[in-house]
Amino acid sequence: MSMNERTVGEIRRTSARVPARRGAIGTVATGLCAAAAATLLALSGCMAEAATPAAASDALARHTGPTARAIFAGGCFWCVEADFDKVEGVLATTSGYIGGSVPNPTYEAVSSKQTGHAEAVEIVYDPRRVNYEQLLKHFWRTTDPTALNRQFCDVGTPYRHAIFAVDDAQLAAAKASRQALEQTKPFREPIVTEIVRAGAFYPAEGYHQDYYLKNPVRYGYYRERCGRDERLKALWGKAAG
């Protein structure tokens, strides 16, 4: 792991250990701002970031039609959640853990590779407005399916690239999508994505939910330094999500 990867990984762990306080502008920021103050000095918005975040979407609460679920693991769940919240027809996203052997895991246990879980995002969507195949296409193009047990600067099995199908129809669709992608992918590396039936999904701690909305400066700094968008552009070109 490079020095940059170690630095960004520590920033993310520190930021997660100390959730951001919500309060008036001017409140001393905690978490990443305190841990990486020297690095973030140029980001003048850091101190102001403690302001109350935007209100969460109430799309799911207002929805009266059918819903469906999908679960994807694409590295940092902050980023996966942010990317899927942009998709028309997605009603709600929840960061969490799946694929491990320990019930009710914590972030610290998962990130230390003690439980076998992957960071993942559960998506609730309106199947009349977006279908599972479209979500799969978005997933491929917003993640790196060539990376084994890592995504971008996050390394280890908690950051593995995986699709957790909630039923047999999703399992078949995911496998068919991967097979089709093998024939059309714009890169030479093999696809290493794990496709399995979903087990128990455990929502992550509250401070991880909507992290990109609650902590836009910290999230933006993490995403940029992790090289996520740069890698996606190199991998997918204009098709990057």
What domains can be seen in the chain, in order of their start residue?
A: 3-53+66-236 (3.30.1060.10)
Q: Which two tokens stand for residue 26?
A: 């001017």
pTM value > 0.85 = no
3-class SS of residue 241: coil
76 counts as catalytic: yes
Reported as a single tens digit per residue, the pLDDT across 132-185 is 999 999 999 999 999 999 999 999 999 999 999 999 999 999 999 999 999 999
DSSP assignment of 123-139, as one string?
Answer: EEE-TTTS-HHHHHHHH
What's the CA gap between 151 and 146, in Å, rounded? 9
Reported as a single tens digit per residue, the pLDDT across 28-44 is 333 333 333 333 333 33
The active-site residue, picked from 46, 76, 79, 226, is 76
161-165 and 194-197 beta bridge pairing:
parallel
pLDDT over 70 at 4, yes or no? no
